[in-house]
Chain A
């Protein structure tokens, strides 16, 4: 099947310009269903396409010449950045522990392609920088595993030793723990009120955070932010904070299930991301055990 990559063109068959059919994908009939594959791009798993080949019109060649069909758009859950952290809070307000980031689908493929011709030192720096850009504070991070860069099938797993100095701030008798530990990439998006051009997401994707934080001895949770679920169908933000035996559990989900949005919907999208940022700024209130729980 000849397709036109939307990284370069928004293809219109009526223009009859064969040069814009610049890429090839293979359609496999499997149990009566079409499965789209890209064997020409390294690391592309069976049944997956690169982002620029998804959601595009293409000419499926057959003995009668061919017919126009459209390649599928995967759901956001097919391309995830899942961040799992098991951290301990120190008396001085530092968070320290293990972070695992798992990239799946297009998120894994894109990174493998980007680092395809690089060496181990560069790939290590690349993944450490990736972790740095997620956190809205200075961090100390070191990659501790050797991710499988050459696989076509599996997720890309990166494991780190992580320290976030001074993440928890003191406020008199209390301490405040911000919940948006991996929220930096959403911090400055869509900051301007006016928008002229449509908003173009290259592919659908999802960020999933699962963070557990053990509190230091003698401290307890005084107050947790209320759970949030902002579901606008094509974008969704979920935040949940729980306390279990002096361990704070934070779950965050940000799903983007859209590719192109007309600028007239920009205010709604901007408003959604403002709500995301507001949620990410919520704080868990901690206080010493035995202190009077003034907010109960």
Chain B
């Protein structure tokens, strides 16, 4: 989904950013690298790696991380100094990207100094690149990301980053931390040989360590208030289609820094405290200005029910507040005041949630921030508190007695009562529902009593659906004509509305239908097409169209071969790989799609053979299809359901089998015979 849901700042991994490295590698000539590197000895810590055994890897491994060292010195609550060293051995041509070291930092609260890079070639003299040869750049604009942010990158290009060579770099980061917490990213896409993390605290300080996706590692005390952790031989995380997000699978250590007297408003060590921290950040931000109060009156006058009022406010925040993210400093976490968001008519996800909360308060409805990650699986219930979030939505406390059936994205909270989840950033979702990306996702519910990790509910399958019905007629030459009516709900509607949002001419509006037909029909012509409820997001979206398909049925002697599954492809090829699956398969959301096609046969033909029915139910998903004859009509019905949002690795073969069964059914053919 390419949308505007990705708002808040994530923790920035201090390592090579793969995407940017590839971009820079590809466009190297566009960047005027200040000067060429010179011969210079690589440091001893890198030379010690020349004959080091490599961690376990296969022939598809681009590089291995031979060594990583992170030395964190906390000087005060306002100053942390981190020295970082990394060295990779490049094994394959695609590993050349590790010759570009990209160090992200927030300016001005963080400063990168002493960036050096080296290469130890398999043959010949070492190369060195110095700090003065580094470039400092702002992040390239990514569609859907911030308009303005203070995240920058310091970049050096290490020469001779070729297979067989070792590249490494070192730098120091000085930061004025926004949150008293550090994250050690020791597992990444490359197999790791050895990584060290050390922590030096001032007198009287303490720390608490916790782990994401990894067993606890015991530190060694190396001095007064100084500890060191070591991990080795970690496997690399190779990307697979539809795998969980990296934050949900990579081994990481969180270090909560605890100054004497407590962390106060500068940090947290558990979810409850994290909720307090976020609550403090947002204090006063939801206060309604006179203009907001006036607008609420204007929007809700004449409305008699709380649901109607909430719906009106939701419409306003969804459609009249433009998504623009300006995230500077603490602004990556802290929303702008509601009054500013209202006055400027723009804001990011947390700004929209803030304004919505302020407006709801004016109709006497309480609401709470839910800080979440728009990639389900980034935060899991067993994780310790961490800032792996990138999005903010609202949990609206529904007033007593409100029982509107359209409000389905709800949970019953033991203290707060019935809560409705709402994402004001998603301008195309219906009030009362949430997109698949939020369902069964874990978010931090921020209440006056602190934070609490809650599971956002999964909606019924039938709320994310394509219901397609077709009445079609086949002639003796194989031409198929008829009408299709398609009703879409949930994300199935959202995706089409998003695609058509800025399309104004009719030729382009018909393109989604053309693409759909082209996926299933070889030779077709659309005779008429219309779109239903494009703008009315509270109503089901629909396509109605009629078409003719020449040679749809194929003549074979006195037989006519016809595929009862006229339209729509449910089979997928994501499991068609010889590599054994390593990670679970994540679906975007629950799904229930149905197709019902009635094909009237040409005069003089009867059915001689029909495809068999298919009944495949693997628990996590099911597929049922049936082809029947009634009189001179072939009826084809099928139902495709995704019931679980995650399929474990142990069931990946079942998923492969499932998709193959569907592919086979989609090719199945009925045989018609000329009557005697």
Residue of A nearest to B94 (CB): A122
Is the pair A121, B519 in contact by a Cβ cutoff of 8 Å?
no
A280 at the interface (CB under 8 A from B): yes
Taking CB atoms, residues of chain B closer than 8 Å to A278 are 522-523, 550-551
| Residues of chain A in range 97-139 having any CB-CB distance to chain B below 8 Å | 117-119, 121-122, 125, 132, 137-139
Is the pair A295, B667 in contact by a Cβ cutoff of 8 Å?
no
Is the pair A132, B576 in contact by a Cβ cutoff of 8 Å?
yes
Is the pair B659, A140 in contact by a Cβ cutoff of 8 Å?
no
Is the pair B557, A223 in contact by a Cβ cutoff of 8 Å?
yes
Q: How far is the CB of B566 from chain A (nearest CB, A)?
A: 13
Is the pair A172, B522 in contact by a Cβ cutoff of 8 Å?
no
Over the window 522-557 of chain B, the binary record of Cβ atoms lying under 8 Å from chain A Cβ atoms (1 yes, 0 no) is 111110000000000000000000000011001011
Taking CB atoms, residues of chain A closer than 8 Å to B524 are 274
A268 at the interface (CB under 8 A from B): no
A174 to B610, CA, bound (A): 10
Is the pair A295, B559 in contact by a Cβ cutoff of 8 Å?
yes
In this complex, the interface size class of chain B, counting residues with CB under 8 Å from chain A, is: 35 or more
Which B residues are closer than 8 A to A by beta carbons? 59-60, 92-94, 163, 507, 510-511, 514-515, 517-519, 522-526, 550-551, 554, 556-559, 561, 571, 573, 576, 578, 608-612, 659-660, 663-664, 667-671, 673
Q: How far is the CB of A220 from chain B (nearest CB, A)?
A: 14
A172-B671, A285-B561 given as contacts; is B93 within 8 A of A118 (CB)?
yes
A185 at the interface (CB under 8 A from B): no
Taking CB atoms, residues of chain B closer than 8 Å to A93 are 664
Could you name 30 residue pairs across A and B whose Cβ atoms are closer than 8 Å?
A: A93-B664, A117-B93, A118-B93, A118-B94, A119-B92, A121-B59, A137-B667, A138-B573, A138-B659, A140-B578, A169-B611, A171-B671, A173-B609, A174-B671, A191-B514, A193-B514, A222-B557, A223-B557, A274-B522, A274-B524, A274-B550, A277-B523, A281-B551, A281-B554, A283-B669, A285-B557, A285-B561, A285-B671, A295-B556, A295-B559
A178 at the interface (CB under 8 A from B): yes
Number of inter-chain CB pairs below 8 Å: 119
A169-B668, A171-B670, A296-B557 given as contacts; is B526 within 8 A of A193 (CB)?
yes
Given contacts A194-B507, A223-B557, 10 further A-B contacts (CB under 8 A): A122-B93, A138-B660, A166-B664, A174-B609, A277-B522, A280-B522, A283-B556, A285-B557, A294-B608, A295-B556
A121 to B525, CA, bound (A): 44
A283 to B610, CA, bound (A): 16
| Residues of chain A in range 220-239 having any CB-CB distance to chain B below 8 Å | 222-223, 225
A277 to B552, CA, bound (A): 11
A256 at the interface (CB under 8 A from B): no
A174 to B576, CA, bound (A): 28
Is the pair A172, B609 in contact by a Cβ cutoff of 8 Å?
yes
Taking CB atoms, residues of chain B closer than 8 Å to A223 are 556-557, 559
A166-B663, A172-B671, A278-B522 given as contacts; is B609 within 8 A of A122 (CB)?
no
A170 to B519, CA, bound (A): 22
Taking CB atoms, residues of chain A closer than 8 Å to B59 are 121
Is the pair A282, B554 in contact by a Cβ cutoff of 8 Å?
yes
Taking CB atoms, residues of chain B closer than 8 Å to A122 are 92-94
A192 at the interface (CB under 8 A from B): yes
How many A residues face the partner with a CB closer than 8 A?
44
A188 at the interface (CB under 8 A from B): yes
A55 at the interface (CB under 8 A from B): no
Taking CB atoms, residues of chain A closer than 8 Å to B612 are 170
Q: Which interface residue of B519, B522, B526 has the most chain A CB atoms within 10 A?
A: B522
Taking CB atoms, residues of chain A closer than 8 Å to B671 are 171-172, 174, 176, 285
Q: Which of B94, B163, B507, B523 contacts A274 (CB 8 A)?
A: B523
Taking CB atoms, residues of chain A closer than 8 Å to B556 are 222-223, 225, 283, 285, 295
Residue of B nearest to A173 (CB): B609
Residue of A nearest to B563 (CB): A281
A194 to B529, CA, bound (A): 15
A172 to B573, CA, bound (A): 27
A142 at the interface (CB under 8 A from B): yes
Residue of A nearest to B524 (CB): A274
Q: Which of B92, B518, B611, B667 contacts A178 (CB 8 A)?
A: B667
A193-B514, A278-B551, A285-B559 given as contacts; is B163 within 8 A of A138 (CB)?
no
Is the pair A166, B163 in contact by a Cβ cutoff of 8 Å?
no
Taking CB atoms, residues of chain B closer than 8 Å to A281 are 522, 551, 554
Is the pair A171, B609 in contact by a Cβ cutoff of 8 Å?
yes
A142 to B579, CA, bound (A): 12
Taking CB atoms, residues of chain B closer than 8 Å to A132 are 576
Taking CB atoms, residues of chain B closer than 8 Å to A261 are none
Is the pair A191, B576 in contact by a Cβ cutoff of 8 Å?
no
A138-B660, A191-B515 given as contacts; is B93 within 8 A of A172 (CB)?
no
Over the window 173-200 of chain A, the binary record of Cβ atoms lying under 8 Å from chain B Cβ atoms (1 yes, 0 no) is 1101010000000011001111000000
Taking CB atoms, residues of chain B closer than 8 Å to A274 are 522-524, 550
Is the pair B557, A295 in contact by a Cβ cutoff of 8 Å?
yes
Residue of B nearest to A128 (CB): B578
Q: How far is the CB of A280 from chain B (nearest CB, A)?
A: 7
Q: Which interface residue of B59, B517, B558, B664 has the most chain A CB atoms within 10 A?
A: B664
Q: Which of A169, A188, A225, A277 contacts B554 (CB 8 A)?
A: A225
A249 to B94, CA, bound (A): 41
